[in-house]
């Protein structure tokens, strides 16, 4: 945050916005690319990849600077109050699905359509309350008084099952947990137990998050799709983060055990590019319904196997490498150490432990977008599992505390990824 006087700061931000905006429009013109828009008839996303170094950086600087300028003009009280309320109702009543993908619909017709599709009664005036508020956040718009149409954001909710699951999981399943994280912190100060969290207080139950999620098939499916959505978002996409980010070919003809591998989409993506690798994807029983099994493409079924294994039990499979993607941030040290110790009986000299996870930075050293993303995830982990993201030295210590025969090898961040690789070797 700048300590400059506000006028100088506003001028500085305005100059930066116009400089970066020019840089981006020149870039788009040079590549004959269109600019994105919130209108559904136009381009959804700015086509700029991390390879276009300057333009990519200009975009993240623009996101930060326009947000800061917006908040300065809006003022602190209004900025605090402008939250995206109402998204839960939009998801629950399937309102986005009821709005035509490319046309308009009246509030009255929407009411009839929702009642037909969901059996739930919402009166036109209630739609007006919810949707006109959502419109202040660019979710839907009103092309003519009394009519509703999609913007890019609302249409995504209607047409992208993973984004839809993300919104449902966050606003439906986890919203009560976020509202109760403070109660959980007051009830069990400093707890490192996975069943003393905001989720436990919110739902008055004693199960750790992952067991709780699996009690209800719908919730388990929303959760899986939501993390898949997270895994395909900017900076965490599997191709750039995992497939290109690790030298998989160096493993040769090898078996990789993907521990806590959920529906197997990470292993599938790696297997598609590295034909010498076989994958055993382990997860808990509740994650093994017919849908995940069917999602392994036929052509890969001899190399990607979805199995059931609890990683707190002794690992039965001897393999060259064990992959943990987005797993350890869900477990406080006490439990992460147990996971690493349960692996020991299967380890042979030289076996690799490959972790793909967020890494906490020194404050202020990342771009605004990347820092916001990892700090948000840190809060989510605290809310649902009493765990946290880790700094580099925390990873070294984790291996040391689990067993001194783990040799920490290296940690690196692939250039197009927000996630890091952390690698250790079994060295008895
Ligand atoms: C955050 S998700 C990560 C999934 C996947 N690796 C990815 O990168 O998207 C954590 C996964 O760990 C699984 N999990 C949680 N507890 C487990 C346990 N005790 N044994 C095996 N898997 C577990 C969950 O079911 C979930 O699929």
Does residue 329 have an active-site annotation? yes
Q: Is ligand 1 within 6 A of the CB of residue 380?
A: no
Mutational pocket test of ligand 1: of 304, 327, 377, the residue with most ligand atoms within 8 Å of the beta carbon: 327
Tally of CB atoms within 10 A around 231: 20
Q: Is ligand 1 within 6 A of the CB of residue 292?
A: no
Instruction: Give exposure, 83-99, as e/b (b: 16+ Cβ within 10 Å).
Output: eeebbbbbbebbbbbbb
Sign of torsion over alpha carbons 380, 93, 165, 234: negative
Name 414's Cβ contacts closer than 8 Å, sequence gap at least 6: 240, 241, 244, 245, 246, 421
Q: Is ligand 1 within 6 A of the CB of residue 225?
A: no
Q: Is ligand 1 within 6 A of the CB of residue 59?
A: no
Instruction: State the distance from the centre of ligand 1 to the C-alpha of 135, rounded, in angstroms.
Output: 36
Q: Strand locations in 173-268, DSSP E?
A: 254-259
Q: Is 4 helix (H, G, I), strand (E, B) or coil?
A: coil
Tally of CB atoms within 10 A around 166: 23
Alpha carbons 47 and 30: distance in angstroms, whole number: 13
User: Which tokens go with 315?
Assistant: 């690992």
Q: Is ligand 1 within 6 A of the CB of residue 262?
A: yes
Which pLDDT does position 373 carry in this prediction? 86
Nearest residue (by CA) to ligand 1, atom 8, is: 325
Which pLDDT does position 2 carry in this prediction? 47
Q: Is ligand 1 within 6 A of the CB of residue 21?
A: no
Mutational pocket test of ligand 1: of 238, 284, 334, 335, the residue with most ligand atoms within 8 Å of the beta carbon: 284
User: Which tokens go with 219?
Assistant: 């919730």
What is the pTM (predicted TM-score) of this model? 0.83
Instruction: State the distance from the centre of ligand 1 to the C-alpha of 368, rounded, in angstroms.
Output: 28
Q: Yes or no: say if 220 and 228 are a contact pair by the CB < 8 Å rule.
A: no
Q: Yes or no: say if 111 and 123 are a contact pair by the CB < 8 Å rule.
A: yes
> What is the ipTM for the molecules in this complex?
0.99
Q: Is ligand 1 within 6 A of the CB of residue 260?
A: yes
Percent helix, strand, coil in the chain, to 5, is: 50, 10, 35
For residue 339, the ligand 1 atom closest to its alpha carbon is 19
Q: Is ligand 1 within 6 A of the CB of residue 209?
A: no
Name 195's Cβ contacts closer than 8 Å, sequence gap at least 6: 206, 207, 208
Instruction: State the distance from the centre of ligand 1 to the C-alpha of 267, rounded, in angstroms.
Output: 13
Mutational pocket test of ligand 1: of 209, 227, 257, 260, the residue with most ligand atoms within 8 Å of the beta carbon: 260
Which pLDDT does position 79 carry in this prediction? 77
Alpha carbons 199 and 330: distance in angstroms, whole number: 13
Of 150, 240, 326, 329, catalytic = 329
Alpha carbons 84 and 33: distance in angstroms, whole number: 31
Segment holding 395, helix H or strand E: helix 392-402
Q: Is ligand 1 within 6 A of the CB of residue 326?
A: yes
Q: Is ligand 1 within 6 A of the CB of residue 328?
A: no
When computed from its CA atoms, the radius of gyration of the chain, rounded to whole angstroms, is 24
Instruction: State the distance from the centre of ligand 1 to the C-alpha of 161, rounded, in angstroms.
Output: 20
Torsion of CA 341, 347, 349, 354, to 10 degrees: -80
Q: Yes or no: say if 61 and 68 are a contact pair by the CB < 8 Å rule.
A: no
Integer CA distances (angstroms), 412 to 76, 92, 353, 355, 360, in order: 38, 41, 14, 11, 13
Mutational pocket test of ligand 1: of 199, 210, 309, 354, the residue with most ligand atoms within 8 Å of the beta carbon: 210
Alpha carbons 355 and 375: distance in angstroms, whole number: 19
Instruction: State the distance from the centre of ligand 1 to the C-alpha of 249, rounded, in angstroms.
Output: 25
Which pLDDT does position 17 carry in this prediction? 97
Sign of torsion over alpha carbons 214, 218, 222, 228: positive
Residue bearing tokens 């002794």? 314
pLDDT tens for the chain, 428 residues long, are 445 678 899 999 999 999 999 999 999 999 999 888 988 888 888 888 888 989 999 999 999 999 999 988 888 777 777 766 778 999 999 999 999 998 999 999 999 999 999 999 999 999 999 999 999 888 999 999 999 999 999 999 999 999 999 999 999 999 999 999 999 999 999 999 999 999 999 999 999 999 999 999 899 999 989 988 877 766 677 767 899 999 999 999 999 999 999 889 999 999 999 999 999 999 998 877 767 667 789 999 999 999 999 999 999 999 999 999 999 999 999 999 999 999 999 999 999 999 999 999 998 888 888 898 899 999 999 999 999 999 999 999 999 999 999 999 999 999 888 889 999 999 99
Nearest residue (by CA) to ligand 1, atom 5, is: 261
The β-bridge relationship of strands 321-325 and 352-357 is parallel
Name 351's Cβ contacts closer than 8 Å, sequence gap at least 6: 319, 320, 321, 322, 425, 426
């Amino acid at each position: 945050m700048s300590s400059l006087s506000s006028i100088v700061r506003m001028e500085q931000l305005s100059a930066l916005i116009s400089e970066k905006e020019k840089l981006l429009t020149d870039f788009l013109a040079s590549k004959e690319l269109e600019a994105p828009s919130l209108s559904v008839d136009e381009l959804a996303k700015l086509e700029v990849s991390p390879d276009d170094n300057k333009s990519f950086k200009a975009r993240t600087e623009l996101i930060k600077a326009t947000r800061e300028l917006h908040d300065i003009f809006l003022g602190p009280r209004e900025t605090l109050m402008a939250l995206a309320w109402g998204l839960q109702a939009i998801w629950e009543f399937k309102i986005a699905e009821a709005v035509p993908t490319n046309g308009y619909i009246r509030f009255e017709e929407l009411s009839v359509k929702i009642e037909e599709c969901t059996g739930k009664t919402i009166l036109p005036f209630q739609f007006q309350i919810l949707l006109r508020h959502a419109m202040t956040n660019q979710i839907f718009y009103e092309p003519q008084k009394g009519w509703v149409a999609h913007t890019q954001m609302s249409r995504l909710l209607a047409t992208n099952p993973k984004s839809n699951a993300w919104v449902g999981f966050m606003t439906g399943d986890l919203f009560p947990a976020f509202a109760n994280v403070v109660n959980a912190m007051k009830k069990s100060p400093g707890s490192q137990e996975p069943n003393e969290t905001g989720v436990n207080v919110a739902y008055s139950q004693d199960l750790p998050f992952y067991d709780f999620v699996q009690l209800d098939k719908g919730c388990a499916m929303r959760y899986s799709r939501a993390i898949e959505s997270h895994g395909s978002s900017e900076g965490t996409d599997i191709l750039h983060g995992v497939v290109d980010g690790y030298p998989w070919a160096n493993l040769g003809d090898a078996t990789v055990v993907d521990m806590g591998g959920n529906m197997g989409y990470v292993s599938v993506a790696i297997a598609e590019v590295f034909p010498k690798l076989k994958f055993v994807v382990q997860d808990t029983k509740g994650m093994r319904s017919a849908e995940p099994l069917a999602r392994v493409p036929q052509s890969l079924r001899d190399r990607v196997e979805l199995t059931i294994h609890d990683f707190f039990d002794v690992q039965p499979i001897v393999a060259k490498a064990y992959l943990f993607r987005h797993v350890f941030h869900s477990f406080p040290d006490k439990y992460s150490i147990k996971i690493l110790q349960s692996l020991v009986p299967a380890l042979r000299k030289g076996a690799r432990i490959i972790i793909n996870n967020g890494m906490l930075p020194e404050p202020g050293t990342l771009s605004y977008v990347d820092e916001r993303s990892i700090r948000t995830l840190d809060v989510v982990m605290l809310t649902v599992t009493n765990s946290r993201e880790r700094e580099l030295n925390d990873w070294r210590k984790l291996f040391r505390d689990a067993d001194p025969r783990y040799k920490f090898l290296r940690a690196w961040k692939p250039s197009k990824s927000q996630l890091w690789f952390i690698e250790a070797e079994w060295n008895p």
